[in-house]
Homo-oligomer: A and B are copies of this chain.
């Protein structure tokens, strides 16, 4: 890698991008960037233009105007010889996400962008585009690292690792929030303890919290149960864990596991929200509109406070730290989506898992994961089977495979209702899911 890194952001018209820019500015001393390419599709032209302007102002304010900023609707020049590619696009935009939520709720199921019926729909829209980008990367920047934030991050990463040669790492802010929340509970620096997580994207458990020669996991659980649970991202509802369950688990479930352990409560809240302030997608859409109003302000030259409510906090931190760890062979421990390859026993070698890994210049080397308790393992295996079949359905457009995938998902209701919901999902998304035609 050269000293003038070329970093390309796909889906740069996202409201998150200023956070990423801020992170790159902070790490300027260890990540010597030469070019920054902001790419989006035509529908995002206005948004990416606004982001581009804001980026230039932010760089200027920090005396980094030597970095050239390119805004482009054409992916190819942006990918050519890139060192790092950050993928954060949303196939079908927020409209797609909202449609997923509404269809699921209509059929009495949880509507969410990474799991259940909504996660399935999102994967089927997204994976064909992700693979197209990767095929371009194989040709234009075969040595580049792809950092995938595009949701559903685990399934998208699995599709890429199974079907292309791109060096991809999937990222998520959920384990970053866990790391920060645990630091708060322990009253320690994030670097002072080793948090080991394992599972699938949005489906992980903390397995160890090694601090000062001891495993402090149970102390963290106690703190969480005594009303202080800072491990929950802003974009998912706050709920109490069933206390006996949590106390006896010997692991810390990530906040998204509430979808599985307390699904009926989530369902009720979603239905309330949907008939009140709107679904999460609808709320985010309104928030985005407000954020872009702020971004347009020519006086603004830093990330605005309002972005923090957006939900994706620390995405940037994960991305910048990963780029730096690879570039500098830092061997720090990060929580990433990567090929299983024997890390979690009881899952196929070629599937993708989310596990704490040592990050080297050659990419992630996962830490070994102690065998899961058998009931938790069964849950993980079922979810992974759902994910792998969904990837297969997204690639092949085979409806039978799609149906088999959905039957396995605990958030999906089976029967004639599912047949209808699946067909409606496909028809409503047909422009983005040509594979099902």
Residues of B within 8 A of A2 (CB): none
Interface centre among A196, A248, A326, A355 (most CB of B within 10 A): A248
- A213–B400 CA distance with the chains assembled, in angstroms: 30
Stretch at the interface among A67-75, A86-94, A175-183, A361-369: A361-369
B residues less than 8 Å from A329 (CB atoms): 212-213
B-side contacts of A382, CB under 8 Å: 378-379, 381-382
Q: Nearest Cβ in chain B — how far from A219, in angstroms?
A: 14
A171 to B374 alpha-carbon distance, docked (Å): 27
A381 to B262, CA, bound (A): 21
Nearest CB in chain B: distance from A58 CB, A: 30
Tally of contact residues, A, Cβ under 8 A: 65
For residue A96, give the distance in angstroms from its CB to the closest CB of chain B. Answer: 25
Chain B residues with CB under 8 Å of A261's CB are 407, 414-415
Beyond A194-B331, A375-B389, A408-B378, whether A263 also contacts B368 by CB under 8 A is no
Query: Are A341 and B368 in touch, CB under 8 angstroms?
Result: yes
**Neighbouring B residues of A404 by C-beta, 8 Å:** 245, 375
Contact A360 B194 (CB under 8 A): yes
CA distance A105 to B244 in the complex (A): 25
Contacts A1-B213, A362-B214, A400-B248; is A414 near B374 (CB within 8 Å)? no
In the complex formed, the residue of B with least CB distance to A214 is: B362
Q: Are B367 and A414 in contact (CB under 8 A)?
A: no
Cα distance, A362 to B260, chains bound together (Å): 32
Does residue A280 face the partner (Cβ distance < 8 Å to B)? Answer: no
Which chain B positions have C-beta within 8 A of A418? 264
Instruction: Determine whether A98 belongs to the interface, using a CB cutoff of 8 Å to chain B.
Output: no
User: Does residue A43 face the partner (Cβ distance < 8 Å to B)?
Assistant: no
- Integer count of this chain's copies in the complex: 4
Interface pick from A221-229, A283-291, A307-315, A342-350: A342-350
Q: A378 contacts B367, CB within 8 Å?
A: no
The reply on A279 being an interface residue by CB < 8 A is no
A215 within 8 A of B: yes
B370 and A367 form a contact (CB under 8 A)? no
CB <8 Å contact, A362 and B264: no
Q: How far is the CA of A369 from the CA of B344 in the complex (A)?
A: 10
Q: Are A415 and B262 in contact (CB-based, < 8 A)?
A: yes
Binding site for B on A (CB under 8 A): 1, 108, 194, 196, 208, 210, 212-215, 242, 244-245, 248, 260-266, 326, 329, 331, 333, 341-343, 345, 349, 355, 358, 360-362, 365-371, 374-375, 378-379, 381-382, 385, 389, 399-400, 403-405, 407-408, 410, 413-419
Counting from the closest, the 4 A-B pairs by CB-CB distance are A264-B415, A262-B415, A343-B368, A265-B415
